[in-house]
Structure 1
Amino acid sequence: MVYRRTEKTELRLAQVRERLVSAALAVTAEGGFEAATMSAVAARAGLSAGGIYRHFSSKGELLTEVFRRASGHELDVLARVAAGDGPAGRRLGAVVATFARRALEGRRLAYALLAEPVDPAVDVARLEYRRRYRDLFADLIGEGVAAGELPAQDPALTGAAMVGAVAECLVGPLAPDHARKDDESLIAAVTALALNICGRTE
């Protein structure tokens, strides 16, 4: 006889899995991926370390889920900014500024998401989300080109260049050993650089 999980059992398993992801995300936000050991996550979730493996086959699988959860949330925030009112170029600037500001406000998590060495599975997810950010930028750039607001260009290529430039500009300031300086000036400079890449002029 084949055992089938009941709805109640499925719900309980889903709730425990959610507790684990939330705990791992909280630990990562405080100390980066290096702090998100199985024992630390289990302690935060109020579970045994061995119990994690009933829900995740490895630490890499758990951290990949953390990465997807955190990056997906940030992408959703930026998508709402991109969908706002006003010219495409202005919204593009708002998206970049919002990205930079949120990264600097949650620097330890942002550094982990952008650059911290971790499991190869997380690196695969990073590439996926870089493409999604590129597409978000490209949609706005294409809209700006169609409206005559931006010069003719390949939106996907420019979007990729913007993603790389913004990430590279922020990695150093977000690093755990970097002394915090003037965040607002950095946000303004990163935003201006990104807009210069797509040819937007005030």
Structure 2
Amino acid sequence: MAYRSTARTEATRLAHRARLLDAARELLTEGGYAAASIAALADRAGVATGSVYNHFASKQELLAAVFRHVAGHELAAVREAVEAESGAAQQVRALVEVFSYRALRSPRTAWALLAEPVDPLVEQERLTYRRGYHALAESVVAAGVATGELPAQNPRLAAAAVIGAVSEALLGPLSPVGERTDPGPVVDGITALCLRAVGAPAG
């Protein structure tokens, strides 16, 4: 009986935590980190304000967990798209296009992940998130160099250049005060630039 009670309690705790994370993700999508106050979060999740602290020691810890959750989902989607392709050029294209289109479809969330000012805990998660993309791009470039599909180059530097170019090029279209534009030409331009940067055919 004690085991069943403990298992039930743990399941309830995890369900409450998941509800809080989902509520925080929704608030982040709607208004960025400023919208994700503890009071707003508790109201959205349908729990008492004080119960939030049963799962997270602070608002900063909660937002870091939300960042991890959302950013991990985005990285997994891009990695899946890359791994579905063969050849360095097609994999670079998949990385850039999927990253860019997903960001432009959810600009408020993407802005929060890429550029919104954050506290140090969330900034640390942001650095981890960027490293994941760098590692993915580096593996694609390294494989392309090894097979001769791409010219000789430093895969780590090339990956940093590609991810940096994508992130920087998206800042204007994603900015809360920027103009919304047709994503097609934006993504096409970023993709062509990144393919040229690593020596892959853009056609």
TM-score after normalising by structure 2: 0.94
Spell out the pairing of 1:83-94 with structure 2 (5 A cutoff).
83-94=83-94
- Number of aligned pairs? 198
Distance 2:189 2:40 in 1: 38
Q: Which runs of 5+ in 1 are unaligned?
A: none
- Mean alpha-carbon deviation: is it higher for 162-171 or for 16-25? 162-171
Spell out the pairing of 1:1-202 with structure 2 (5 A cutoff).
6-202=6-202
Report the alpha carbon displacement of residue 114 of structure 1 after superposing the two structures with TM.
0.4
Q: Is the 8 A contact 1:30 1:108 kept in 2?
A: yes
SS in 1 for 2:54: coil
Structural RMSD (CA): 1.1
Superposed CA deviations along residues 130-189 of structure 1, whole A, max 9, x for unmatched, are 111000001111111111111111111111111111111111210111111121100111
Q: Which runs of 5+ in 2 are unaligned?
A: none
Distance 1:85 1:180 in 2: 30
Distance 2:69 2:196 in 1: 31
Report the alpha carbon displacement of residue 129 of structure 1 after superposing the two structures with TM.
1.1
TM-score after normalising by structure 1: 0.94
Distance 2:188 2:61 in 1: 36
Distance 2:152 2:142 in 1: 9
Distance 2:84 2:13 in 1: 38
Superposed CA deviations along residues 85-124 of structure 1, whole A, max 9, x for unmatched, are 3322112111101100000000000000001012210100
| Runs of 4+ with >4 A deviation | none
- Identity of counterpart residues, as a percentage? 45
Q: Is the 8 A contact 2:111 2:171 kept in 1?
A: yes
